Amino acid sequence: MSQPQIIIDPDEELCIVCRLLFYNIPGFYPNAKKLYRVSQEEGYSFRLQNITKWIKHQYSYQIYRQPLPCKAEASFSKIKIPNKVHQCDILLHTHDQDDGWIFVCTLLVIDVATCFKDGRSLTSRNSLEIWIAIKDIYEDPSNPLTWPKLLMTDGDASFRDAFSRGMEQYNVPIRVVDLYSFESLAFIKALKKRIAILTYKVQYAIEGRLTDGERSRVFKKILKKYIDYLNNSKTRLIGMSPARAMTLEEVESKPSKKLKRAIGKDEKIKLQKGTAVRYLLKAGELEGDHRRRATDPYWSLRVFKIKRVVIGKNPPQPVLYYLEDEPIESTAHLIGRNPKRPFKYEELQEIEEPDKIEYPPDEFMRKYHPTGFVHYVHASSRSVQAEDYAMKRGDHHFLNGMQLDGYNEELKLAFEYHGSQHYSLNSMFHKRGQIDLDEQKSRDQKKRDICKQEGICLISVPYTCDLFPYIRYTLIEKGYLDDVSGSNHEIRNIRSGRSQALENDPHAPAWPFRIIVAGASNSGERNVKCDDVILCGHHLNEPKYGIVRNFYKYLAQDKSKPYYDRRFA
C-alpha cells in the first residue's frame, strides 16, 4: 500500500505565511524586502519577486507606499491675453482698525497672463461685501483690471450667493477649483503668501518698539503700497513688470519650474482609460484641512477609475488624468473625497487587480478589534454584497455604478425618492452650489435614460406629493394595478420588533426589512417572494423606506403573483 501524501501548494503556503507575518505586532512592513528578510529569519525560502507580488495587493501597503518625485508641472503659459482669466481669494489676517472700521480680511485679485494684481480690505467675509469690493476694482477707471472672460476661485462660501449672482449680471463665469488643487490657483496662492510675508515683517518690526501687550495694526495702510510695488517690479515668468505687460495685447511667459521629463506629445501615456488607481493625497486632505500629519497615508483610501486622458500639445503640458466621479464599490465605504482635479502620472498609483485587494484577516480583527467588523470576501460594503447577489440572479449592473432607491427585477419596476435637493439648491447637498445641483439633475436624467433602454419602469416620487395617492395612481397608470376605485382595502401597520425566527440571527436586517424583505413573519401566513427586493439606504426614517412599504401594500394584492399577501386583499 502506498504511503499517503500531503501536497502543499507553494503559492498558498506563501500567502498564509506572509499574512501571518505582515498582519502581526510588529508587522505591517513598508516594503517587500523587509518582509522577505523576516520570512528568511523564520526559516522560509520564498523568492523576493513572489513576496513583492503578494504585498502589492495589501491595502495597508498600497496607501503607505512611497510616492514618486514629481518631475513636471502644468503651467498657464497658454493664457497670453490680459484680462482673460483672473484668480481671486480671501487673505485672512490680524484685525486692523482704521477710521473706526475693523478690517478682518483682504480680497486679492490677480490676472493670470500678466500677474497684475489688486486688493481691497474687508470688514467681513460676506458675499455681498466681496461683490461690492471686486466691482469697485473692475470699474475703477485708473485700474487696468477689467471684467475677465473667466474667474477662478476655490469653493469658499464667500464666493456664492450675492457674489455669484453679481458675476452672472456681467456674464463672467466662475470656475470653482477643487479645494486641494493648489496648482490650479497657484498665482493667487503665491500672491497671498507674498503679501502676508511683506506685511507681517513691517508689523513685527513696529511691535519691537511697542510696550508689552500692544500690537501693530497696519495691514490696510500698507496694502496698497505693496501691491503697487509688486505691479512695478520685474517678474521672472514674463520678464517684465505686470504694469507694463498690461499695455500689451499678448504676453509670453515661461514655465514656473524646469522640466525633468518629456511632456506633451513626447510624453508616453502610461495609464489608459478605465485603469484603477489611487491618487496622491494633499496635506491634510484626508482629515479635511491643510495640515500634514506624520500618521497620514500618502495615497487615497478609495480606488477610482480613470475617466479621461488629456494631452496638452500647444504649449506642451504634462498628460493629465481625470478620475470617475465615484470610487469603485469595494472601496466606497472608506473615508475620503471624490476629487474633481486632474492628476499627473506621478500622482497616481496603478492598482492592477482592485478586486484582489486584501484587508486584515478575520483572526487579526478578532484579536485587536473585538467588536463588529465587515467580513471581506472581495466585497467590502453592503451595497457590493447586494450587487454580487444581484449578479447571481442575472443583473447586468445597468446603472454603471449608480443606485436606485428600490428595484424589483421580476416586475421590471424601480422607484426613486426625490427630495428637495433634486429640484433646488440645498447647502447640505450642494457644497459647490449650482455645479452640484446640475450634476444631480444630470445623474437623475441618466438613470431615467438607462432604465428606459433596459425596459424598466422608473417611478420618481417627488417630496411634495401625498405618497399614498401618488403611488397608487402611478401604479394604475403604468399598468401594475387595476383601477378598482370603488373597493375599500384595509391596510394594516407593519408591526415593529424582531421576528422570533430571526431573533438570534446577527445578520438579520433591521425592522421593517425583516418583515418586508426577509419575509420574517411569526405566523408564516404570508407567501412573499421577497428575494426580488433590493433596497439601499442608511436610516430607517428615510422617506424611501415608507415608499417601499406603500409599494408592497399595493403589489401584494395581486392573487396571481407569488408575493400575494391576503392581509392586503
Q: Which residues of 71-80 are buried (b: 16+ CB within 10 A; e: fewer)?
A: bbbbbbbebb
Q: Is the confidence at residue 218, as pLDDT, over 50?
A: yes
Q: Is the confidence at residue 277, as pLDDT, over 90?
A: yes
Specify which residues 534 forms β-bridges with. Answer: 407
Q: How far is CA 520 from CA 216, 281, 491, 504, 567, in A?
A: 72, 46, 19, 13, 15
Q: Which one, of 111, 136, 107, 100, lies nearest residue 121 by Cα?
A: 107
C-alpha cell at 511: 425592522
Q: Is the confidence at residue 444, as pLDDT, over 60?
A: yes
Q: How far is CA 455 from CA 67, 392, 429, 449, in A?
A: 47, 20, 30, 10
Helix, strand or coil for residue 310?
strand
Is residue 547 within 8 Å of 406, Cβ to Cβ?
yes
Q: Which one, of 25, 30, 16, lies nearest residue 60 by Cα?
A: 30
What's the chain's average pLDDT?
79
Q: Which residues of 50-62 are buried (b: 16+ CB within 10 A; e: fewer)?
A: bbeebbbbbbbbb
Is residue 102 within 8 Å of 123, Cβ to Cβ?
yes
Say which range, 62-66, 150-154, 474-478, 494-498, has the weakest mean pLDDT. 494-498
Residues 6+ apart with CB under 8 A from 408: 414, 532, 533, 555
Q: Is the confidence at residue 153, as pLDDT, over 70?
A: yes
Q: How far is CA 173 from CA 21, 135, 414, in A?
A: 56, 15, 38
Residues 6+ apart with CB under 8 A from 188: 87, 88, 89, 108, 109, 110, 152
Q: Is the confidence at residue 400, as pLDDT, over 80?
A: no
User: 489 pLDDT band (50/70/90 cuts)?
Assistant: very low
Q: Is the confidence at residue 164, as pLDDT, over 50?
A: yes
From the centroid of its chain, how far is CA 167? 27
Specify the higher pLDDT residue, 462 or 499.
462
What pLDDT is recorded for position 341? 86
Does domain 85-245 fall under CATH 3.20.20.140? My reply is no
Q: Report the DSSP pairing between strands 320-323 and 304-310.
A: antiparallel
Q: Is the confidence at residue 281, as pLDDT, over 80?
A: yes
Which range scores top for mean pLDDT: 29-43, 370-384, 490-504?
29-43
High-pLDDT (> 70) share of the chain, %: 76
Give the residue extent of every domain in the chain.
10-55, 85-245, 261-367, 382-568
User: 432 pLDDT band (50/70/90 cuts)?
Assistant: confident
Say which range, 221-230, 315-324, 462-471, has the weakest mean pLDDT. 462-471
C-alpha cell at 333: 465605504
What pLDDT is recorded for position 493? 42
Q: Model-level pTM?
A: 0.58
What pLDDT is recorded for position 516? 46
Sheet holding 101-111, edge to edge: 117-122, 101-111, 85-98, 150-153, 174-176
Is residue 531 within 8 Å of 394, Cβ to Cβ?
no
User: 76 pLDDT band (50/70/90 cuts)?
Assistant: confident
Return the CA Rg of the chain: 31
User: Mean pLDDT throughout 353-379?
Assistant: 73
Q: Is the confidence at residue 554, as pLDDT, over 50?
A: yes
